[in-house]
Amino acid sequence: MKYQIKGDYLIIEINDDFVGMSVEQFFNYFHLSRKTIHLLKQNKQYALNNNFVTSNTLLKQGDSLKVLAFDQGIDYQFQSYPLTVVYEDDFILIVNKPINTAIYPEDKNGLNTLCNYVANYYLETNQYIPVRHIHRLDKDTTGLVMFCKCAFLQPKLDIMMANKEIKRTYLAIVDGIVKKDLIINKPISRDRHQNRMRTSNNGKKAVTKVHVLKRSFPSNYTVVKCDLQTGRKHQIRVHLSSINHPLLSDPLYGTNSKLINRVALHGYKLEFNHPFFNQKITVFADIPDDMKFIGKIDLQ
């Protein structure tokens, strides 16, 4: 889809995918809320071929739809950090989260989180937009985190994440020898007695595909690739612990290991169909130094 950005507005050239849709159907395709659509109408913050039209106006091939799409203002404290940007376009930013880093601070004045580092990156690259993460990783988990740069596109990305249309793949190192590939299908709920999650028949559906990459018999560990079919809190950690193969150095679901001093989990791949360009995007994050002892493995 061809487009231009002028200030806070996105100018879109309508192609075959949207011909015959009404303006409102186009907004619904991107999952804009009723409130957002109402405000766009009320404030006349969209135009078709430079004219404000009713939302039931049908789109034609080559039409130019102009819509307010970007918010202004970086909303976290700036903090310099050598951030690793893995992918970026006008709508999406994907970075590699470092070790021992929370996604966001407890309040907007906090520091030492990924949102602070992204805020500084936006400042340095003259992008005065809010910092909006699409998903999270635990503080000790390294790997890929997606941020949305365009308010118009964020609801679509949120829905894609909820529907597992953004595929996340993790590298994990677990205690013991996992004998074969498997699918762990065990519901997960909050543990009422401890501050953690657990498998439970009364929990929410949770499915994790586990593929063995390497077994180390002398050191008694297994390197596995985990594909999330659902997205429950601590899902990989809980599921692997439930089959007696907890992640190395997992303080909640396992025990400390001499091999690594944090949870041995790394989000190394994201795959998704770009909601604007309609192209498949696949990105990878380098294995962090403290997990490189696993040896050479073809993760792709």
Distance between CA 144 and CA 84 in Å, rounded? 10
pLDDT tens figures, 237-258: 999 999 999 999 999 999 999 9
- Nearest C-alpha neighbor of 238 from the set 221, 257, 253: 253
d(CA 129, CA 149): 7
Burial label for 221, CB within 10 Å (0-12, 13-18, 19+), is buried
Tokens of 194: 């401890």
In this prediction, what percent of the chain has a pLDDT beyond 90? 92
Query: In the structure, what pLDDT confidence band is assigned to residue 294 with cuts at 50, 70 and 90?
Result: low
Kindly report the CATH class assigned to 168-267: alpha beta
- The DSSP secondary structure of 67-78, one letter per residue, reads EE-------S--
Write out pLDDT tens, residues 229-238: 998 999 999 9
Burial 133-150 (b: 16+ CB within 10 A, else e): bbbebbebbbbbbbbbbb
| Mean pLDDT across 204-214 | 96
CA atoms within 13 A on the CB side of 287: 18
Residue for token pair 């599921």: 239
Instruction: Give the Cα separation of 173 and 291 in Å (integer).
Output: 8
Strands 142-148 vs 265-273: parallel, antiparallel or unpaired: parallel
Q: How confident is the model at residue 296 (pLDDT cuts 50, 70, 90)?
A: low
| Total residues found in the chain within this entry | 300
Residue 138 among the catalytic residues: yes
What whole-number distance in Å separates Cα of residue 82 and Cα of residue 175? 32
Q: Which of 138, 140, 227, 250 is catalytic?
A: 138
Q: Give residue 1's pLDDT.
A: 86
Strands (DSSP E) found in the chain: 3-6, 9-13, 46-48, 64-68, 84-88, 92-97, 142-148, 166-175, 182-185, 188-190, 197-199, 207-216, 221-228, 265-273, 280-284
Class of domain 84-163: alpha beta
Region 169-198: what's the mean pLDDT?
95
**The pLDDT value given to residue 292:** 80
Question: Do the domains at 84-163 and 168-267 have one common CATH topology?
Answer: yes
Number of Cα atoms under 13 Å in the Cβ half of residue 52:
8
Question: DSSP letter at 124?
Answer: H
Q: Going by C-beta distance under 8 Å and a sequence separation of 6 or more, which residues neighbour residue 40?
A: 27, 32, 46, 67, 68
Angle at 5 between CA 3 and CA 10, to 5 degrees: 70
Contact 113, 102 (CB under 8 A): yes
Q: Which tokens go with 93?
A: 């930013």
Predicted TM-score (pTM) above 0.75: yes
Radius of gyration, CA atoms only, the chain: 22
- Architecture of the 3-68 domain: Roll (3.10)
In contact, 208 and 184? CB cutoff 8 Å: yes
The domain spans of the chain are 3-68, 84-163, 168-267
Q: What is the rounded average pLDDT of the residues 33-38?
A: 97
